[in-house]
Structure 1
């Protein structure tokens, strides 16, 4: 059985929120990470797309994808992985 990759972040109020990494997507040279909150039930599951960028020190930095066109391209690529 595959081990889940769990990542923890703090929300706007400073509360810890756990996410499960569900997929890594590559569009050209750009890498994306799809995360789903652990507390969501299956019926109302949300998936968030994060672009993996490098900061000025060369460290990985996750940035939420907010551009609709970029998000649609990621979603299309993810569907290809599922089918």
Structure 2
């Protein structure tokens, strides 16, 4: 059985939410992460991993329908 990868974030109210990383893919030189809240696997979200010039990592939520379609085409996760 594969080990579940969990990341914890805080929502706008400061509440902790655990997300399970479902998949990570490199598409056109951009790294995408597909994840869902542990308590709601149907609520899949897609993020881009970005690095600043000091190699600090940040996640940017993908909202563009065109970009989401591109990720859907190569993803094994159905969303």
Structure-2-length-normalised TM-score:
0.89
Alpha-carbon distance in 2 for matches of 1:55, 1:35: 22
How much has 1:56 moved relative to structure 2?
3.4
Aligned equivalent of 1:31: 31
State the partner residue of 1:5: 5
Match for residue 71 of structure 1? Answer: 68
Residues paired across the two proteins, number: 78
Unaligned runs of 5+ in 1: none
1:51 corresponding residue in structure 2 = 48
4+ long deviations beyond 6 Å: none
Which runs of 5 or more structure 2 residues have no equivalent in the other structure?
Answer: none
Return the TM-score normalized by structure 1: 0.85
- The structure in which a higher percent of residues are helix is 1
1:54-80 Cα offsets, whole Å, 9 max, x none, are 02321111110011101110111104x
The alpha-carbon deviation at position 2 of structure 1 amounts to 0.9
* CA deviation string 1:32-72 (max 9, x = no partner): 000010011x5xx1110000000232111111001110111
